Structure 1
Amino acid sequence: MPATTTDSPAAGRPADVAALLAGLVREPGRPRLTWYGPDHERVELSGAVLANWVVKTTNLLVEELDAGPGVRVLLDLPAHWRALTWAPAVWRAGACVVRADAARAPADGGRVDVVVTSRPDEHGTGAPVVAVSLAALARSWAGPLPRGAVDAAAAVMTYPDALGWVPAVDTGAPAVAGGPDVAHAALLGTALGTAPPAGARVLRDVRGLDGVDLALAAAATWAVDGSLVLVDGGALDDAALERLRTGERVTHDAG
Structure 2
Amino acid sequence: MQIAPRSDGPVPDVASLLARLAADGGRPRLTWYGDDGERVELSGAVLANWVSKTVNLLVEEFDAAPGTRVVVDLPVHWRTAVWALAAWRAGATVLLPDADAAHPDVVVTDTPDRWAGGGADLVVVSLPALARRYDGDLPSGAIDAASAVMTYGDAIGWVPEVDPGQEALVTATGAVQHKGLVPEPGDGARVLVDGRGAVAEVLRGLLGVWAGGGSVVLTSPATAVELEQDEARLTRLLSTEQARRSRG
TM-score higher than 0.5: yes
SS, match of residue 30 in structure 2? strand
1:128 aligns with 2:121: yes
1:227 aligns with 2:219: no
Indicate conservation of the 8 Å contact 2:18/2:48, yes or no.
yes
Residue 43 of structure 2 corresponds to 46
Percent sequence identity over matched residues?
Answer: 55
How many corresponding residue pairs? 235
Instruction: Provide the alpha-carbon RMSD of the alignment.
Output: 1.6
Deviates more, 1:78-87 or 1:21-30: 21-30
1:165 aligns with 2:158: yes
Q: Equivalences for 1:49-128 in 2 at 5 Å?
A: 49-101=46-98, 107-125=99-117, 126-128=119-121
Residue 16 of structure 1 corresponds to 13
Structure 2 regions of 5+ residues with no counterpart? 1-6
Deviations 1:182-239 (A, max 9, x none): 1111111xx33xx54x2100001111322x3322111111000000001231123111
Alignment partners' CA distance in 2, 1:224 and 1:156: 28
SS, match of residue 172 in structure 1? coil
Alignment partners' CA distance in 2, 1:109 and 1:42: 32
Residue 206 of structure 1 corresponds to 195
Alignment partners' CA distance in 2, 1:11 and 1:82: 28
Indicate conservation of the 8 Å contact 1:52/1:161, yes or no.
yes
2:128 is matched by which residue type in structure 1? A
Deviations 1:128-156 (A, max 9, x none): 11001011132211122111110001100
SS, match of residue 36 in structure 2? coil
Quick one: which of 135, 145, 149 aligns to 1:152?
145
Q: CA deviation at 1:42?
A: 0.4
Alignment partners' CA distance in 1, 2:62 and 2:101: 21
Indicate conservation of the 8 Å contact 1:113/1:128, yes or no.
yes
Indicate conservation of the 8 Å contact 2:70/2:108, yes or no.
yes
Indicate conservation of the 8 Å contact 2:71/2:101, yes or no.
no
Alignment partners' CA distance in 2, 1:63 and 1:137: 25
Q: CA deviation at 1:181?
A: 0.7
Indicate conservation of the 8 Å contact 2:116/2:139, yes or no.
no
Q: What TM-score results when the alignment is normalised by the length of structure 1?
A: 0.88
1:30 aligns with 2:27: yes
Deviations 1:39-75 (A, max 9, x none): 2100000111100000000000000011100000001
Alignment partners' CA distance in 1, 2:55 and 2:121: 16
Q: CA deviation at 1:13?
A: 2.9
